[in-house]
Amino acid sequence: TAEPYTRTQYCRWPCECPRSPPRCALGVSLVTDGCDCCKTCAKQRGETCTEADTCDFHRGLYCDYSGDRPRYEIGVCAQIVGVGCVLNGVRYKNGETFQPNCKYNCTCINGAVGCVPMCTNSRPPLVWCPNPKLIKMAGKCCEQWVCDDSRKIRKTSPRHISSAAYEGEDEAWQKNCIVHTSPWSPCSKTCGLGISTRISNDNDQCRLLKESRLCNLRPCEVDITQHIKPGKKCLAVYRANEPMNYTISGCVSKIPYRPKYCGVCTDNRCCTPYKSKTIEVRFQCPDGIEISWKIMWINACFCNLNCRNPNDIFADLAHYYDYSEIAN
């Protein structure tokens, strides 16, 4: 007489589930197990399945127990016979996974095509970029963010300024690399020595690197309002009568300079540079070492109502029209 067969109990109650659900591989469904207890990663085609370990029904799979006669306890995930898919003139089998291009990974599910994007980690540039733009980069599948500064002239700019005054960004082809240099950021201080930065990949490795230069919009120790002409409310540019030497951490520039500074206004306007260049200044340090620093050289300033704190990193977030939630 054959011994009675005791069926294996794969489900246990009450349910004991981990605090956090598992993280499934890309394209694998997170489903409730066959015991109706816990979240689990669905079994895929060819994997073993039980009453507890369910197959990925989102991919049209079912647990085939036919190979486990007469117990019918452990099966293999198999494809439900269904309708195939046609995409761009190409026919795919039901359950088949394919890539129509490098940007998407797709699966045919009973006549319908579901796709998972592969370009998921692209984020816009930091706040130094007022107009981020996605472009196609040579040798890369996913588009990359660059800074689009095509709107050179601002509404508050004076009429006599040509577009060349706002040329702060260069872009050209160089050895299969799009050379891109962002505009210099506003000076970190409204008076005294500060720092201005920009991003550029104009190097042999075509790598985006951060560049810095010193800047001094106006001296803190000078009351520029005393130099405003009678009847006027602004002095756009201030320049000291005598040349001076730049000083950084005890190091003194080897030659004197007579730089221009942006002035001030007695009303609500502020004066900011609209035309400048970068110069290289050599310094002599007390220990005899010579160093070199890039310094912003102001050519002209413009007084307008578009004033903001240069240290306010949130001021540029208004330009992210597609990322309005960042400013909330």
pLDDT tens digits along 181-235: 888 888 888 888 889 888 888 877 777 788 899 999 999 988 998 989 988 889 9
The rounded distance, in Å, linking the Cα atoms of 237 and 233 is: 13
Residues with Cβ within 8 Å of 278's Cβ and at least 6 positions away in sequence, in order, are: 184, 213, 294, 295, 296, 297
- Largest Cα–Cα separation, the chain: 120
- Over the range 14-50, which residues count as b (16 or more CB within 10 Å of their CB) and which as e? eeeeeeeeeeeeebbbebebbbebeebbbbbeeeebb
Torsion of CA 168, 169, 172, 176, to 10 degrees: 140
Q: Report pLDDT for 281.
A: 92
Residue 154 has pLDDT above 60, yes or no: no
| Domain range 85-117, CATH class | mainly beta
Domain boundaries, the chain: 30-79, 85-117, 121-150, 192-304
Q: Tell me: pLDDT of 28 over 60.
A: yes
pLDDT per residue as tens digits for the range 75-126: 999 877 766 788 888 888 877 888 888 888 888 877 777 777 777 655 665 5
For 243, the token pair is: 């040349």
Instruction: Out of 33-42, 141-150, 310-319, give the one with best mean pLDDT.
Output: 33-42
Answer with the residue of higher pLDDT: 56 or 328. Answer: 56
Pick the more confident residue, 154 or 71. 71
Is the pLDDT score of 130 beyond 70? no
Q: What is the mean pLDDT of residues 225-246?
A: 90
- The pLDDT, as a whole number, for residue 160 is 40
CATH, domain 192-304, list 1.10.3470, 2.10.90, 2.20.25, 1.20.120: 2.10.90
Question: Is the per-residue pLDDT at 41 higher than 90?
Answer: yes
> Which backbone phi and psi does 110 adopt, to 5 degrees?
50, 50
Region 307-327: mean pLDDT is 42
Torsions phi, psi for 59 (to 5 deg): -100, 10
Nearest to 99 by CA among 79, 122, 111, 115: 115
- The pLDDT value given to residue 171: 42
Q: What value does the mean pLDDT take over residues 242-254?
A: 89
Give me the pLDDT at residue 73, please: 87
